[in-house]
Amino acid sequence: MPEVQYFPIDRLRAFVVQVFGRLGVPDADAEQAADILIAADRRGIDSHGVARLKAYCDLLSAGTVQPRATVRVVRETPSTAAVDGGNGLGLVVGPKANAIAIEKALAVGSAWVTARNSTHYGIAGYYAMKAADRGLIGWSMTNASRVVVPPGGAERMLGTNPIAVAFPAGNREPPVVVDFATSAVAFGKIQVATRTGKPLPEGWIVDAEGRPATDPAALSSGGAMLPLGGDVEHGGHKGYCLGALVDLLCGLLSGANWGPFVPPFLAHHAVPERSVGAGIGHVFAAIRVDAFMDMAEYRSQIDDWVQTFHATRPAPGSAGVLVPGDPERRAEAEREKTGIPLLPAVVAELRAVAERVGVRLD
C-alpha cells in the first residue's frame, strides 16, 4: 500500500471549486459539483471523488461537456418532470433535477424526474441523501457506459448502473442509505487485483468469448463484468434485471442513450457508433414519509428497525451486522478527523490538473 497524503476537507473542496471555475463553470455550479466529489471522498468512496477530477476536466477542456449548460424541463405533470441537461456536467444537472423531484414530492406526495443529455453525476447516494434531509425517501439511479455482460452473452451491454435509496433519520439513528452498483463487484476491486496479480474470485468477470474468467487481464482484453449474482446459478439473471431496469428508466424513459450506446465517461474512450438518445441519463424519485405516517411514528420505527438489525446474532468471527450506510458513516467520521487520504498517483494527477488550469494545490 503506497503511503497516502492527507488533505483537509475544506482545502480540497476549495481547490475543486477553483478548478471548475477556471474551466468556465459558474461559481454556484462549481460549488455544487465540488460538494458531490468531496462527499464521495468523505464517505470513503474514493473511486468517485477527486480521483475523477481530471476526467471531468478533460471533458470540459475538450468541449465535450458544456461548462454553462442550460438545464430545462421539457415535459411535466404535477408529480413528474423530464429534464434536459443541455450536455452539462452531471454534477450540475443531477442536483437541479433532484431538486425538482424534491419540490414536486413536497407538493403532491411523491415525484419522479428523469434527466437526459447529461454526463457522469458522481455518487448516486448524494442525491438520495439530499431528499432524506428534507424528510423524504430519496431515490437516485443513473446509467453508464457499457461494461456488464448479460447472462449467456459475450459482450458488454450495460453499465454498472447504480441504485441509491435513502430513508430519513430517526431520533437516535442516522439515515439508512442504500447505494450500490448493479454489477457483481466494483471496478476498483478488479483494478486492485490487476495490480497485485492475484486471480479473481469466480463470478466477477468473463473473457472476450463470454467464458467465466479469473485472470483480471481478461477484462481489459475484451472481457466484461458479470452482473450482481455472478453466474445464473447464483442469481446473475437478477442482477441483469436490475441493471436493465436502471437502464430502461434512466436511459430509455429519459430520452438519453441506453444499453451499449451510452457514451463513455473517459474522454479517450471510443464513443459508440450509434446514438439512440442524448447523453447519459439519471432518474430521481422522492416520497414524503408523512404522506404515509406521522413523522414522529416514523422516527421511532426507523430507530427500532436499525437497532433490531444491529442486534442480529453475529456469525462466528463476524464483527456484527451493519445496516446500509454504516460503512460510509464510519469512513466519514474518521475522515472528518484525519482529512481525505489520497494516493500518490491521485495527488500527482491533481497537481497536473492544477498546473493546467493555473491554480495551486497546497
Q: Is 302 in the site for a second copy (CB under 8 A)?
A: yes
Residue 182 CB, nearest distance to a second copy (Å)? 8
Only segment of 44-52, 59-67, 233-241, 335-343 that touches a second copy (CB under 8 A) = 233-241
Q: Which grid cell sits at 292?
A: 404515509
Residues written for the chain: 362
211 is a site residue for a second copy (CB under 8 A): yes
Q: By CB under 8 A, is residue 359 in contact with a second copy?
A: no
Strands 80-84 and 110-118: parallel
- Least distance to a second copy, CB of residue 181, Å: 8
The one segment of 36-44, 46-54, 57-65, 255-263 that binds a second copy by CB under 8 A? 255-263
27-42 helix and 124-132 helix, angle to the nearest 10 degrees:
100
Choose between 42 and 288: whose C-beta lies nearer to a second copy: 288
Q: Can residue 245 be called a binding residue for a second copy (CB under 8 A)?
A: yes
Minimum CB–partner distance for residue 349 and a second copy (Å): 29
Within residues 305-344, the interface with a second copy by CB under 8 A covers: 305, 308-309, 312-316, 318-324
Residue of 57, 65, 252, 353 interacting with a second copy (CB under 8 A)? 252
Amino acid at 62: A
By beta-carbon proximity to a second copy, the closer residue of 21 and 227 is 227
Alpha carbons within 13 A on the beta-carbon side of 50: 36
With beta carbons less than 8 A apart as the criterion, state whether 136 and 287 touch.
yes
**Which residue in 253, 343, 347, 357 binds a second copy (CB under 8 A)?**
253
Rg (C-alpha) for the chain, rounded Å, is 20
Nearer to a second copy, 25 or 242 (CB): 242
Minimum Å distance from CB 165 to a second copy?
5
- Answer for which of 213, 219, 228, 353 binds a second copy (CB under 8 A) is 228
Residue 209: CB minimum distance to a second copy, A: 6
Selected from 24, 188, 199, 201, the binder of a second copy by CB under 8 A is 201
**Judged by CB under 8 A, which stretch of 32-40, 44-52, 172-180, 332-340 contacts a second copy?**
172-180
Establish if 289 lies at the interface with a second copy (CB under 8 A): yes
Least distance (Å) between residue 13 CB and a second copy:
28
Contact in structure between 32 and 91 (CB atoms under 8 Å): yes
Q: Cα separation of 271 and 263, whole Å?
A: 5
Which CB contacts under 8 angstroms, 24+ apart, belong to 81-84? 81/111, 81/113, 81/114, 82/113, 82/114, 82/116, 82/254, 82/255, 83/113, 83/114, 83/115, 83/116, 84/115, 84/116, 84/117, 84/255, 84/278
Smallest CA-to-CA distance from 269 within 123, 144, 180, 182 is with 144
Nearer to a second copy, 17 or 302 (CB): 302
Parallel/antiparallel/unpaired status of strands 176-180 and 205-206 = unpaired
Indicate the helix (H) or strand (E) that contains 165: strand 163-167
Report the nearest approach of a second copy to the CB of residue 231 (Å): 9
Binding residues for a second copy, rule CB under 8 A, total 87
- Decide if residue 255 touches a second copy (CB under 8 A): yes
151 binds a second copy (CB under 8 A): yes
340-342 and 163-167 beta bridge pairing = unpaired
Stretch binding a second copy (CB under 8 A), from 36-44, 54-62, 296-304, 332-340: 296-304
- Contact string (CB under 8 A) for a second copy, positions 67-96, x = contact: --------xxxxxx-x--------------
**15-to-19, 31, 46, 61, 98 alpha-carbon distances in Å:** 6, 10, 17, 17, 25
Q: Map the footprint of a second copy across residues 34-53, applying CB under 8 A.
A: none
Helix (H, G, I), strand (E, B) or coil at 271: coil
Cell of 255: 430520452
